[in-house]
């Protein structure tokens, strides 16, 4: 599906020999004075070290836009506190840019990143350290997907976490669904999510970096979401919730945590498209939500850091509802 060649090229880069221990490159560092925001962040890490995601290497599928990008941005910012990134990815340990390098890798199907991603990426010049990279890939291509994940893990000799946020939705009556529609939706929402988690699990075990896998599900996987005629989307998210529990059971012995995040209604481009198809849907949902409003993607920034950090070190096999109280009636 067009992504294998790019992945193979990346793999060849990984195969290049690493720098020798004494091969320390000279580099001039021009550091700006810490801002007040930097000082606040450093103080927060001092008192809440369990939420430190510095040095983490994280993959976010569906990370080119919407909720995935928002969570990727939060991780990128949180891991960049006081860090300096420099040099090749295979720099010798102990040189600048080795112990401190941390990257968020965003995977999305768009051939080129949208303006919103580029805005986030441009923050690199003012947020110390780290990086956020975009990879165009069709995650239904299992070979290319798993190869890319392996390349990323090999590149840093570690993989700390993944947020499987890629998903598609279609509002259609159950009486009108075609078999191909069902297969297309399950290929992205369930099969690709599973194959993502599978390869991430393999790499975490390989490099002995037990980390956190976050499966983006939905409250639509728990309830018959009033007004939302999308039976395959809803049932695919129910499958993701159950999958996270089974993976947590299998991989707990390796220290790998797997949890499902179940958002309520978020005002994303996908939801805005729903409102165009069903103009009365927003009012219906607002009545069902105890806070009488939809959420914004920014309200999920902190839970991304919580789930991927040691702040959630004893949480696995859980389903976390963040839905404004909709499922509490």
Assess if residue 226 is contained within a domain.
Answer: yes
Please tell me whether residue 283 adopts helix, strand or coil conformation: helix
In the block, tokens 């369990």 appear at 50
In the block, tokens 């091969």 appear at 23
158 vs 134: CA distance, rounded Å:
19
- Convert the pLDDT of each residue in 101-150 to its tens digit: 467 899 999 899 999 999 888 875 444 556 789 999 999 999 999 999 99
Assess if residue 22 is contained within a domain.
Answer: no
- Convert the pLDDT of each residue in 233-259 to its tens digit: 999 999 999 999 999 999 999 999 999
Contact (Cβ atoms closer than 8 angstroms) between residue 85 and residue 129: yes
Give the pLDDT score at 159: 94
Beta bridge partners of 57: 103
What is the token pair recorded at 320?
A: 């976390």
Question: What range does the domain containing 145 cover?
Answer: 4-13+45-323
Assess if residue 84 is contained within a domain.
Answer: yes
* Residue 19 confidence class, pLDDT cut points 50, 70, 90: very low
162 vs 204: CA distance, rounded Å:
11
33 vs 203: CA distance, rounded Å:
38
| Angstrom distances, CA of residue 318 to CA of 131, 216, 224, 249, 315 | 30, 12, 20, 11, 7
- Strand (E) or helix (H) holding 214: strand 212-216
CATH number at residue 285: 3.40.50.720
* Number of separate domains in the chain: 1
The residues that are catalytic are 233
Assess if residue 286 is contained within a domain.
Answer: yes
Assess if residue 148 is contained within a domain.
Answer: yes
Tell whether the model's pLDDT for residue 14 goes beyond 80. Answer: no
pTM score: 0.82
Give the pLDDT score at 279: 87
Assess if residue 179 is contained within a domain.
Answer: yes
């Amino acid at each position: 599906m067009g992504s294998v060649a790019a992945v193979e090229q990346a793999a060849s880069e990984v195969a290049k020999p690493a720098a020798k221990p004494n091969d320390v490159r000279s580099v001039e560092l021009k550091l700006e004075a810490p801002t007040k925001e930097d000082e606040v962040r450093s103080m927060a890490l001092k008192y809440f070290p369990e939420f430190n995601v510095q040095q983490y290497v994280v993959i976010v599928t569906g990370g080119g836009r919407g909720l995935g990008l928002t969570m990727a941005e939060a991780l990128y910012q949180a891991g960049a506190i006081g860090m300096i990134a420099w040099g090749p990815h295979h720099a010798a340990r102990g040189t600048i840019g080795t112990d401190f390098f941390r990257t968020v890798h965003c995977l999305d199907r768009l051939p080129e990143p949208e303006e919103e991603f580029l805005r986030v990426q441009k923050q690199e010049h003012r947020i110390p350290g780290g990086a956020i990279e975009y990879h165009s890939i069709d995650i239904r291509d299992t070979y290319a997907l798993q190869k890319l994940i392996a390349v990323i893990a090999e590149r840093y000799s570690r993989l700390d976490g993944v947020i499987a946020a890629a998903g598609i939705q279609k509002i259609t009556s159950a009486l009108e669904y075609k078999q191909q529609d069902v297969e297309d939706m399950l290929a992205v929402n369930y099969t690709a999510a599973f194959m993502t988690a599978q390869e991430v699990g393999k790499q975490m075990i390989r490099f002995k970096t037990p980390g956190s896998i976050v499966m983006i599900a939905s409250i639509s996987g728990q309830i018959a979401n009033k007004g939302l005629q999308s039976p395959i989307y809803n049932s695919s998210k129910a499958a993701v919730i159950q999958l996270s529990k089974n993976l947590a059971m299998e991989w707990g012995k390796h220290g790998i945590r797997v949890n499902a995040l179940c958002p309520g209604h978020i005002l994303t481009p996908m939801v805005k498209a729903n409102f165009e198809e069903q103009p009365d849907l927003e009012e219906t949902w607002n009545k069902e939500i105890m806070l009488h409003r939809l959420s914004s993607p920014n309200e999920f920034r902190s839970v991304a850091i919580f789930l991927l950090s040691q702040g959630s070190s004893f949480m696995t096999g859980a389903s976390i509802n963040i839905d404004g109280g909709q499922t509490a009636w």
